[in-house]
Structure 1
Amino acid sequence: MTDEAILLKVLLRQRHLQGHRAFCKEYDKVAAKIDPELRGGHPSKAQFYRWLSGDLVGLPYADHCRILESMFPEWSAEQLFKPYNNRLDFVPESGTSPQVRPQRAESVASAETGKVADIVAAYASRSDFMHDMPPRQLFDDANKLRLVGLSLNILCQHYPDRALKKLLESGCTVDCLFLDPDGEYIARRECEESQTDGHLSTLTKLNIDALRRIRAKLSPEAAENLRIRTYDEPVRFNITVVDDSKCVVQPYLPDARGVESPTLVLERSGDTGLFDTFAQVFNSMWNRAKEVSP
């Protein structure tokens, strides 16, 4: 196995397609455009992870190469399976694909070598992050979600109720930790953001009530999968943890709305990175929070 990440692995991580299930969905989507008969011909799970390990001798079958070159039109199949050494020497001078940004690739490669402690992407604002990674992409295949922040709009306002109900009925557990809408610190945050009195409090109550309505429509087993709590402490981070593998972190800045703050995407690469740090922040806050009754 090579000590360096191959380019394909770096590019898939940029698009958050490094999981076998997510990759196969994208594979079938591309295959349908090239030749409908190729749909369903994606690699097995073991084969896919051999691709990413750099363990292949030669290249995959021709049909696989066709799909991969359509997914990443700026690179040949041969280039996709070469080691990536922190540079994109073979990027065509005409420019890169709009979906692939060399700056992001450098961040991912640095994470591979432990230089940026689990960080795989950074965005100037939450809106930039959500444009690149919409909630459906982040949540649809999840088995466990943990969220803490102020009003949790990413789940309550930007993720469809029907999709959330389907997720919960499928067995996904969702833990939501809101800033207490009747507490001291939400009033302080309204002052920091120069909001009118009660603005954030009202929004948070609406979001909590929306989740309670969803919970009331679930089967008894699925209803237990949705837990809602509140905390009354200084609001420091918006944290979303997905499946003990991915974490989205955003600080709350003074004199700025949450949507305007920078956003980091972390993927767990070991036991000493930032993923575990922020997952522990959530767990600690959750354990001392107050449960919201049905």
Structure 2
Amino acid sequence: MPNERLRDTLLRNGLTLQQVAEVTDVDPKTVERWITKGRIPYPKHRHKIAAMARESESYLWPDSVSPERKAQTAAAELVSMFPHRNAIPTDLWDRIIGKSEKTIDVLAHAALFLVERPRFTKDLITKAETGAKIRLLFGDPDSGSVRIRGEEEDLGDGTLKARIHNALTYYRPLRNVDGVEIRFHDTTLYNSVFRFDDEMIVNTHAYGLQGAHAPALHLRRLSVGGLFETYAESFEAVWNLAKPAVF
């Protein structure tokens, strides 16, 4: 079976068969077989390809890593856990946002706390102009899922909808910036996801609690880990269901 993940990753990063062959010191036809026939490269080759493509081995070759090793690595991906999102130090947000250069993904309902940072939207514009891919997913203010979440968190009628509209006013300058795409989702938000390159904050959600008061995980992606990849794939699933944001 062809390895479509590997094919897509190479195309997305502008990598040719020849470039991969040179890095791994194999014939280009061997690289082609890794893609078209789904052959699994030796570990030393997988490491090099994953590094040059900035993808995890467990994503590119899911069957190449034993369940035991995936479990061990997943534990290592958890840098720290916070009892609630408000406990995350400001300097941690400053560092992971500031260091990001390639990928910024946000999945939330409003994430109003992000735009309370004075330079956040300006920093996103600067990063997009230097080549970062930025994808922002907000709850559809008029959706049933937003109404239900507002009720579950006991926010009061229309409060969450108002928060989303409030947050969106800060993002208006991003609407026509190349490299930035904004969508609305109407899904049950099990977790809010804030990805900055290979680091991620996952704000879990607990019934009856506002997101700021629910636990949060700080993850750092490892080559054969599966925890970071689980939330990254969840983001992709929601992104594919979402619609362009009009505001």
TM-score computed with the length of structure 2 as normaliser: 0.65
One-letter amino acid of the structure 2 residue matched with residue 164 of structure 1: L
| Residue number among 84, 92, 100 corresponding to 1:125 in the alignment | 84
Instruction: Give 1:50-69 correspondences, 5 Å limit.
Output: none
Please name the residue that 1:258 is paired with: 211
How many residues matched? Answer: 176
Alpha carbons of structure 1 residues 182 and 115: separation in structure 2 relative to 1, 3 Å:
closer
CA drift of 1:155 comes to 3.1
Native 8 Å contact 2:107 2:138 kept in 1: yes
Q: CA RMSD in A?
A: 2.3
Give the superposition deviation at 1:117: 4.8
What is aligned with 2:116?
Answer: 157
Distance apart, 1:235 and its partner CA: 1.4
CA distance in 2, matches of 1:159, 1:253: 29
The 3-state SS of whatever aligns with 2:73 is coil
What is residue 228 of structure 1 aligned with on the other side? Answer: 182
Secondary structure of the corresponding residue to residue 237 of structure 2: helix
| Sequence identity percentage | 23
Among residues 219, 233, 247, which one is paired with 2:200 in the alignment?
247
Contact 1:168 1:225 in 2 (8 A): yes
Among candidates 233, 242, 247, match of residue 280 of structure 1: 233
Aligned counterpart, 1:116: 75
Amino acid aligned to 2:242: A
CA gap 1:277/1:187 in 2 versus in 1, 3 angstroms: same
* 2:187/2:238 contact within 8 Å kept: no
Distance 2:118 2:109 in 1: 16
Q: Any idea what the Cα deviations from partners look like across 1:5-31, whole Å, max 9, x if unmatched?
A: xxxxxxxxxxxxxxxxxxxxxxxxxxx
Residue 97 of structure 2 corresponds to 139
Deviations 1:225-254 (A, max 9, x none): 1111011121110101221x1121111111
Aligned pair in 2 of structure 1 residues 158, 130: CA closer, same or farther (>3 Å)?
farther
**2-side partners of 1:215 and 1:130: how far apart?**
29
Quote how far apart the aligned CAs of 1:131 are. Answer: 3.3
CA contact (8 A) 1:236 1:252 kept: yes
Give 1:238's aligned residue.
192
* In structure 2, C-alpha distance between the alignment counterparts of 1:247 and 1:286, rounded to whole Å: 17
Which amino acid letter does the alignment assign opposite residue 251 of structure 1? Answer: T
Q: Which residue of 1 aligns with 2:133?
A: 173
Task: Tell me the alpha carbon deviations over residues 200-244 of structure 1, each in whole angstroms, 9 at most, x when there is no partner.
Answer: 10111222232123435xxxxxx121111011121110101221x
Secondary structure class of the residue paired with 1:229: strand
In our comparison, the structure showing a higher alpha carbon Rg is 1
TM-score w.r.t. structure 1 length? 0.55
- How big is the shift at 1:261? 0.8
Give the superposition deviation at 1:116: 1.1
The answer to whether structure 1 residue 267 and structure 2 residue 232 are counterparts is no
Quote how far apart the aligned CAs of 1:275 are. Answer: 0.5
Given that 1:228 and 1:292 are in contact with CA atoms closer than 8 Å, whether structure 2 keeps it comes out as yes
Q: What residue ranges of structure 2 are gaps of 5+ in the alignment?
A: 1-69
> Structure 1 stretches (4+) deviating beyond 3 angstroms?
none
Cα pair distance change 1:149/1:115, threshold 3 Å:
closer
- 2:73–2:225 contact (8 Å) kept in structure 1: no
Report if aligned partners of 1:118, 1:275 keep a CA contact under 8 Å in 2.
Answer: yes
Deviation at 1:189, TM superposition (A): 0.9
Give the conservation status (yes or no) of the 8 Å contact 1:148–1:282: yes
Using the TM superposition, give the Cα deviation of residue 159 of structure 1 relative to its aligned residue in structure 2, in angstroms.
5.4
Cα separation, 1, equivalents of 2:219 and 2:83: 15
For residue 158 of structure 1, report the CA deviation from its aligned partner: 2.7
